[in-house]
Amino acid sequence: MTMIAQQVTELLAKMTLREKVGQLTQCGNSIYNDDYKIGWELLRQGRIGSLLGIGEVEQANELQRVAVEETRLGIPLLLGFDVIHGYRTTFPVPWAEACSWEPELARATAAASTREAAANGVNWIYAPMIDVSRDPRWGRGVEGAGEDPYLVGRFAEARVKGIQGETLSDGWHAAACAKHFVAYGAAIGGKDYNSVDLAPQTVHDVYLPPFRAAIDAGAASVMTAFHDLNGEPCTGSHYWITETLRERMGFAGVVISDAGSTDQLKVHGYTADDRDTAKTALLAGLDVEMCFGIFTYQEHLEALVREGAVPVDTLDAAVRRVLTLKYELGLFEHPYRDVKMAAAALGGDGSRKLAREAARRSVVLLKNQDVLPLKKTQRMAVIGPLADDREEMLGTWSGVGRAEEAVSPWDALKTRANASHAKGCQAVEPSPALFAEAVQLAQNSEVAVVFVGEPRSMNGEGKSRTSNTLPGVQLELLEKLKATGTPLVVVVIGGRPLVLTRVAELADALLFSGALGVEAGQAYADVILGEYNSSAKLVNTFPTVVGQAPLYYNHNNTGKPPVEEFFWTSKYLDAPIKPLFPFGYGLSYSRFTYANLALSQTAATGTEVIEVRVDVTNTSAVDGEEIVQLYITDPVASLVRPVKELKGFAKVFLRAGEMKTVTLKLPLQSTGFHNRKLEYVVEKGKLLISVGTNSADTISQALMIV
Ligand code: BGC
């Protein structure tokens, strides 16, 4: 038995039933509301084991003091917080950052965010969000890493490592929480919280792999999602929590419900009342109840155990997992945080530098008709509702980030270029009152740089959309500006794949990113002025019209693949076959060509690792970075397979004119899928290996798996 296991056993032996249930009860920061005074009393009685949303070190210390000094057993608290892309220093939203295709960058920003949060008393971070998101209508894709299970998995692993570090107990790290288990992103119609109806194979091939990656990286906890998956609400599902997550995937850490999702079991019609909910959730394998008004564990578990409806062993196992985490975090030894160190940990040059680096690496160049980069001396009109809005730079879930610490594009460009500013219109309101001034400014400028997009209030939790257009009169503004004849650089900021069809026609150059955080303005300026050569690529397919949703590159092959000229094929009457921009798409000020794709062997067994080599040349006069992408296609299989699947990538730097042979490793074990019996298989036969600059533009070679 390890030392921690021993300590937990001893502590558990001293606990009353009520105290045990307390460890599984999480209360919100409502404990600080005047009308929830009873919360403090419950805390003193050891009936609360963790809290959510405590964002100040003084409060964290005060709560820990009550737990440690005023409860019978002195058990410290888990203090959870949504540090999604920064605590005080706001980094790019995860979806934007994923466009860097640099998991190591995400690891660094997760570590920097955690450092700030942990120094301020947070020991449990509700990230990474690793829901694969294939539907542009769903608002929560902004918290994740896009539509591809492999890429989401790489970011899951990196962010878990960033949050947890080498050792959980050093005071600078926290427990990560992989969420939302599972397939939350597959909500029918892209409508948040909606039911999910999925083939089990799809759950296993698409939605579980990122959780596998997070678990392998050591994630200390997992959060169950709100929705019902094939009829079973995730929070009350023995099949998903115990049989799948714990038994099949080997996860041994803490499972917490999403906010109030226990209470919702009743609303789903899955449990009869709160007592039934408490029983169902605990027996399903749920440890901690993240309460939102209703405390089903606190109210009913004790009686359920006494009456024999819930075995005490099941309760003990859950409590054991929570206590183990508390010991692993070193909370029994160091429950408090040093207030001076807490303040000193916030922000600072190092974080700002990292924030800028992460931000500029997250800007995707989608179109450039010889307009960008701009010269500093060019007379530049900086226009648009998002050009000078610091709050918008922070994006959704911005922790304790402060708008006044953010740099807007106008803040940056007014000092770094020959720029003038006009707002042009509001982001959401339909009032065109400000058009005239912007049009006049564009007329008098050599180039107009227009910052438009979807405000942060329109993406994130509960923010599903059905149109995905630029809200308000922003498109009209672009039309008016286009009519001036002044070259138009359009920068779109958004939290989902927006419909940019007309925008892309109007723009002479087009940049896209999610909210970039405190250094957003500098990052856009870096790219626009050519001080950073953009290298980012989209992690979602962008639709031409929202009716194409759900839309993802790795869809199954149909029996009637789409052909433009042939009516009886799989397509829409009124939308193109192709998306506006494919997954993995992104330009650079450099240009790259691919040639000489070669495999280390043309036949291999399913357990071998092959090498895929390709010559990539920078044919331009500008140094730059390219993201080389490796896909597979299994053309004949016992179940229909996706037309393409990402299996690897590499970011390479190439000087102007330089050629490099890029080698990517492909473990053939990773090319399999779950068959009808849900066994993972790598079948024999042909496999197409494709490499290229995006998912649609690749060169291929065949391999035989023997
Ligand atoms: C969200 C979670 C979040 C939790 C706690 C929920 O509404 O779905 O992602 O961690 O709130 O704030």
Phi, psi of 460 (to 5 degrees): 110, -160
Residues 362 and 416 in one domain: yes
Specify which residues 80 forms β-bridges with: 52, 124
Query: Is residue 296 included in any domain, yes or no?
Result: yes
Overall size of the chain counted in residues: 706
Which residues, 6 or more positions from 253, have their beta carbon under 8 angstroms from its beta carbon?
Answer: 219, 220, 221, 222, 321, 325
Is 131 an active-site residue?
A: no
- Residue 460's pLDDT is 97
Same-domain status, 357 and 337: no
What is the model's pLDDT at position 293? Answer: 86
Whether 361 is in a domain gets the answer yes
Q: Establish whether residue 184 lines the binding site of ligand 1, counting it when its CB lies within 6 angstroms of any ligand atom.
A: no
- Say which CATH number the domain at 467 has: 3.40.50.1700
Q: Which of 474, 463, 480 is nearest to 499 (CA)?
A: 474
Q: Is the CB of 131 under 6 A from ligand 1?
A: no
Residue 582 inside a domain? The answer is no
Same domain, 385 and 525: yes
**489 and 408 share a domain?**
yes
Last residue of one domain, picked from the residues 539, 572, 600: 539
Residue 35 pLDDT > 90: no
Q: Are residues 287 and 337 in the same domain?
A: yes
Single out the residue in 297, 312, 341 at which a domain terminates: 341
Distances (CA, A) of 571 to 323, 565, 576, 577: 54, 11, 8, 6
Atom of ligand 1 nearest to the CA of 225: 8
Give the predicted TM-score (pTM) of the model: 0.98
Residue 435 CB less than 6 A away from ligand 1: no
Q: How confident is the model at residue 401 (pLDDT cuts 50, 70, 90)?
A: very high
Q: How far from chain centre, in Å, is Cα 459?
A: 13
Give the pLDDT score at 437.
97
The enclosing domain of 18 has a CATH number of 3.20.20.300
- 53 pLDDT higher than 80: yes
Percent of the chain with pLDDT over 70: 100
The tens digit of pLDDT for each residue in 236-247 reads 999 999 999 999
On the CB side of 320, CA atoms within 13 Å amount to 14
* pLDDT recorded at residue 30: 84
For residue 233, what are the β-bridge partners? Answer: 228
Do 477 and 370 reside in the same domain of the chain? yes
Ligand 1 and 259: CB distance under 6 A: yes
Ordered alpha helix ranges (H), 429-507: 435-443, 474-483, 501-506
**CATH number, domain with residue 601:** 2.60.40.10
Determine the Cα–Cα distance for residues 505 and 507; give it in Å rounded to an integer. Answer: 6
Q: Report, as an integer, the average pLDDT of 254-269.
A: 98
Q: Which of 341, 361, 387 is the last residue of a domain?
A: 341
Helix (H, G, I), strand (E, B) or coil at 500: coil
- 633 shares its domain with 534: no
Enumerate the β-bridge partners of residue 581.
Answer: 542
Q: What is the pLDDT of residues 63-98, one digit of tens each?
A: 999 999 999 999 999 999 999 999 999 999 999 999
Domain count, the chain: 3
Nearest-atom index, ligand 1, CA of 126 = 10
CA of 224 to the centre of ligand 1 (A): 10
**Residue 163 structure tokens:** 């949050």
Write the DSSP assignment of 670-685 as a string of letters: GG-EE-TTS-EE--SE
314/356 same-domain check:
no
Is residue 381 located within the same domain as residue 336? no
Best residue among 51, 290, 464 to mutate for probing ligand 1's pocket (most ligand atoms within 8 Å of CB) is 290
Q: What are the tens digits of pLDDT across the range 642-693? A: 999 999 999 999 999 999 999 999 999 999 999 999 999 999 999 999 999 9
What's the 258 CA to ligand 1 centre distance in angstroms?
A: 6
Query: Is 243 inside any structural domain?
Result: no
Q: Is the CB of 126 under 6 A from ligand 1?
A: yes
Alpha carbon of 397 to ligand 1 centroid (Å): 10
Contact 530/509 with Cβ under 8 angstroms?
A: no
Which residue has the least CA distance to atom 12 on ligand 1? 82
Residues 529 and 407 occupy one common structural domain: yes
Residue 142 lies in a domain: no
- Looking at per-residue pLDDT, the higher value among 168 and 348 belongs to 168
Residue-wise DSSP of 211-230: HHHHHHTT--EEEE-SSEET
Q: What is the pLDDT of residues 349-382, one digit of tens each?
A: 999 999 999 999 999 999 999 999 999 999 999 9
Average pLDDT, the chain: 97
Structural domain harbouring 398: 350-539
Residue 633 lies in a domain: yes
What is the reported pLDDT for 36?
Answer: 74
- The model's confidence at residue 609, banded by pLDDT at 50, 70 and 90, is very high
How far away, in angstroms, is 196 Cα from ligand 1 center? 18
155-170 core/surface letters (b: 16 or more CB in 10 A; e: else): bbbbbbbbbbbeebbe
Q: What is the rounded CA–CA span in Å between residue 609 and residue 599?
A: 11
Which residues is 626 bridged to in the sheet? 652
The answer to whether residues 333 and 450 belong to one domain is no
Catalytic residue among 131, 135, 192, 258: 258
461 and 388 housed in the same domain: yes
pLDDT one-digit tens code per residue, 488-521: 999 999 999 999 999 999 999 999 999 999 999 9
Exposure b/e, 287-314, CB count within 10 A at least 16 = b: bbbbbbeebbbbebbbebbeeeebeeee
